[in-house]
Amino acid sequence: MAIFINEHTKVIVQGLTGGQGKFHGLRNRAYGTNVVGGVTPGKGGQDVEGIPVFDNVADAVRATGADASFVAVPPKAAPAAILEAAGAGVRFIVCITEGVPAQDEARVFATLQRDFPGTRLLGPNCPGIISPGRCNIGITAGEIAQPPTAGGRNVGIVSRSGTLTYQALFELKQQRIGVSTCVGIGGDPVPGTSFVDCLAEFQNDPETSAILMIGEIGGSAEEEAAEFIKANVTKPMSAYIAGVTAPAGKKMGHAGAIVSGGKGTAQGKMDALRAAGVKIGANPTEAAQLMAQIIAALG
């Protein structure tokens, strides 16, 4: 199995006719993802290398049966694109767009919670999601991901950092450890999907034997995850928290990666996760090595 997406997921690309949407949409299709259409207002009836383009998401869903959307549009257009997809009945939306104002993110998140509880948003400002060998939505390079082994011990990955998402995937591939699903939740202040959301799914996924978590400074998401792990997660975990040497008050990479008022420090997050039984790596490579030890011990 996998979480959120699989080989049956039908994907549309909002912004398929743009540079980024076309590049990554075609890469996703080349990986084997079932990309069934694209959406660009005013360009309905065209196609991008055989992928039909529609004027709006509702038309695309009616024509293709799409149940997932890849949003690759500029920051000003992203909130409306997300809500349009939700309004058309899309159940899973991946938005890679960077630079969406936090106020817009909060408004969209609240609207989805209130009006579209059946729709899940991943992002904005995230690398997306990949269930290796089955489906890839976003900007992750599929070749760095090791497909899961049927009946074997496979790992679920959840990460706030895009770059470290890639490193975690490649580190496990070098160890020949299969990945059930890798979710990049993004590091913005108001992510559509949280650590806790993913941990709950991995805990219930029979194909996932262990979980690798990548966090970073800022906010309280990792501490909230630690509380959830302590109460609900029985599968073994390793983790890495980025930003040990980050000075307080300085943004480090993401809008959400900032230590403020002494809260959100890497040490505090590591302490909370360690208290929940998670093995903590001093760097991404060590976190992957700890995961290799965990998988070996599972037999």
What the chain holds in terms of domains, given with CATH numbers, is 10-122 (3.40.50.720), 141-298 (3.40.50.261)
Residues sharing a CB contact under 8 Å with residue 138, sequence separation 6 or more, in sequence order = 24, 28, 70, 94, 96, 126, 127, 128, 129, 130, 184
Count of positions (residues) in the chain: 299
- 254 annotated active-site: yes
- List 22, 254, 269, 279, catalytic entry: 254
| pTM assigned to the model | 0.95
Per-residue pLDDT of the chain (299 residues; tens, 9 = 90+): 799 999 999 999 999 999 999 999 999 999 999 999 999 999 999 999 999 999 999 999 999 999 999 999 999 999 999 999 999 999 999 999 999 999 999 999 999 999 999 999 999 999 999 999 999 999 999 999 999 999 899 999 999 999 999 999 999 999 999 999 999 999 898 999 999 999 999 999 999 999 999 999 888 999 999 999 999 999 999 999 998 877 666 555 555 555 555 568 889 999 999 999 999 999 999 999 999 999 999 98
Residues sharing a CB contact under 8 Å with residue 96, sequence separation 6 or more, in sequence order = 20, 24, 70, 71, 72, 123, 124, 125, 126, 127, 128, 138, 139
Would you call 73 helix, strand, or coil by DSSP? coil
DSSP symbols for 244-279: TTPPTT---SSTT---BTTBS-HHHHHHHHHHTT-E
C-alpha span between 40 and 46 (Å, rounded): 10
